[in-house]
């Protein structure tokens, strides 16, 4: 299954590859050159298909856990100042996606979208500390029953040139549902309340809509 954001690129790549294979077959005399061109073009199609894959991940929504919004690796766990919306200190958890990861963004928690804004920007490498505030990005805030407001930010990387964000203010969203897409290398930051319990570690690989990123603090004691 492939994401709808990739439909045009997949079709364009498919017809381009067919054209290259046929042209190489009829117009390149040297067999090894012909095969090299044909194999390279097929590999290009396979890479595009794997990038836009959209595996089904059924979720039973829960309100006391925040699930990973994307596939990737945890690159930041820190207490920071969030300057755009909260303007106070929050726990930040950042997930870096390589071009080989699934690039679908999924809602990490159910709730009501209270803020959704696109920011044009630069294209620093996604793991750069300033990419969170300098790169092309979208910021979305969801009001939840147990965490209060949770912010996530889609950040374009050095290769990415387009972020797709489906969140609209006032919309009720469901944990695990499709929230958007980032094309070709990127990062997603989560900004959580300071008392949130973080369930992941640095360099841990996470799976969107499956891995528990955080949970509400225990009420015991």
pLDDT in tens, 48-103: 888 788 888 999 999 999 999 999 999 999 999 999 999 999 999 999 988 888 88
Q: Has 186 been annotated as catalytic? A: yes
Q: How many CB atoms lie within 10 A of CB 52?
A: 22
* Residue 158: predicted pLDDT: 58
- How many residues in total does the chain contain? 221
120 within 8 A of 104, measured Cβ to Cβ: no
Q: Which residues pair with 88 in a beta bridge?
A: 82
Scan for tokens 């965490």, then name that residue: 147
* pLDDT at residue 110 tops 90: yes
pLDDT of residue 123: 56
Query: Of 94, 131, 186, 212, which is the active-site residue?
Result: 186
Lowest mean pLDDT among 16-20, 108-112, 130-134, 192-196: 130-134
Per-residue b or e along 24-45, where b marks 16 or more CB atoms closer than 10 Å to that residue's CB:
beeeeeeeeebeebbeebeeeb
Residue 5 pLDDT grade (very low, low, confident, very high; cuts 50, 70, 90)? confident
Q: Which of 105, 108, 89 is nearest to 97 (CA)?
A: 105
Within a 10 A sphere around the Cβ of 177, how many other Cβ atoms? Answer: 13
| CATH annotation of 65-215 | 2.70.70.10
For 77, the enclosing helix (H) or strand (E) is strand 72-82
Residue 131 has pLDDT above 70, yes or no: no
Q: What's the pLDDT score for residue 162?
A: 74
For residue 221, what pLDDT is reported? 45
pLDDT tens digits for 159-203?
A: 555 788 999 999 999 999 999 988 766 889 999 999 999 999 999
Beta bridge mates, 131? none
Per-residue pLDDT, 82 = 95
Global pTM exceeds 0.75:
yes
Which of the 8 DSSP states describes residue 185? S
- Helices 7-27 and 31-51 pack at an angle, to 10 degrees, of 170
Domain ranges of the chain: 4-51, 65-215
Average of pLDDT values for 122-145? Answer: 72
User: At a CB cut-off of 8 Å and minimum separation 6, what does 22 contact?
Assistant: none
For 10-35, the pLDDT digits (tens) are 899 999 999 999 999 989 989 999 99
């Amino acid at each position: 299954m492939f994401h709808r954001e990739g439909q045009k690129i997949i079709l364009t790549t498919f017809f381009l590859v067919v054209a290259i294979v046929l042209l190489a077959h009829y117009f390149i005399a040297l067999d090894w050159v012909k095969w090299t061109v044909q194999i390279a073009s097929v590999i290009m199609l396979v890479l595009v298909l794997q990038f836009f894959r959209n595996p089904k991940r059924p979720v039973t929504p829960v309100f006391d856990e925040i699930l990973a919004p994307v596939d990737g690796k945890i690159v930041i766990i820190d207490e920071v100042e969030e300057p755009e919306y909260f303007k106070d200190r929050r726990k930040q958890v950042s997930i870096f996606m390589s071009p080989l990861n699934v690039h679908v963004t999924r809602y990490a928690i159910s709730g009501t979208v209270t803020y959704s804004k696109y920011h044009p920007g630069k294209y620093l490498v996604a793991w750069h500390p300033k990419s969170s505030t300098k790169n092309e990005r979208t910021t979305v805030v969801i009001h939840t029953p147990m965490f209060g407001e949770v912010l996530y930010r889609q950040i374009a990387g050095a290769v990415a040139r387009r972020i797709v964000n489906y969140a609209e203010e006032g919309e009720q969203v469901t944990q695990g549902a499709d929230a958007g897409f980032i094309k070709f290398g990127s990062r997603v930051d989560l900004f959580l309340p300071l008392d949130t319990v973080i369930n992941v570690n640095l360099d841990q690989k996470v799976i969107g809509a499956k891995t528990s990123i955080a949970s509400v603090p225990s009420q015991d004691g």
